[in-house]
Amino acid sequence: MHQVVSATTNPAKIQAILRAFDEIFGEGSCHIASVSVESGVPEQPFGSEETRAGARNRVANARLARPDADFWVAIEAGIDEGATFSWVVIESRDQRGEARSATLPLPEVILDKVRAGEALGPVMSHYTGIDEIGRKEGAIGVFTAGALTRSSVYHQAVILALSPFHNAIYR
């Protein structure tokens, strides 16, 4: 059984990680433990590079906190060019996989508050009345009328980031 450390305690992210690992390695083949670690970037990262750095930092910090795992996984959400997205970084002892998620364009009324220094999650919670929306369906669930959720979009990115770990051509 693979020991997987999720560098987050966010249920939407953990669900995406668990589902992706089950699909790639087989149902029940992984045990996921979660740790809360720092990203080393602002609470609301801007741009692809800052967001990826946050995910990489979380993986490094999760490895320090739980060095006995087989995989360490981080999902860092950010804002880039008026849209929300995330970077997924997965590491094993000797390999790294990274993937960027799909992007959701955000309305200007939301972006104005985020650009003014507020994080997207609290802005969306205020806008929707849904407490801790970032731990649930997220802006993605709201603006796609539930057709997609934060977790479903992250799930795809985790699947993509896992590609180097089960395809020999990457080695």
Instruction: Please write down the HEC assignment for all residues of 113-133.
Output: HHHCCCCHHHHHHHHHCCCCH
pLDDT (tens digit, 9 = 90+) per residue, 87-102? Answer: 999 999 999 999 999 9
- 167 in a labelled binding site: no
pLDDT at 24 over 90: yes
Please check if 136 is assigned to a binding site: no
pTM of structure: 0.93
In angstroms, the CA 29 to CA 36 distance is 23
91 is in an annotated binding site: no
Query: Does 99 appear as a known binding residue?
Result: no
* 119-156 pLDDT, tens digit each: 888 998 888 888 887 767 788 888 999 999 889 999 99
CA distance 82 to 66: 35
Check whether 132 is labelled as a binding-site residue: no
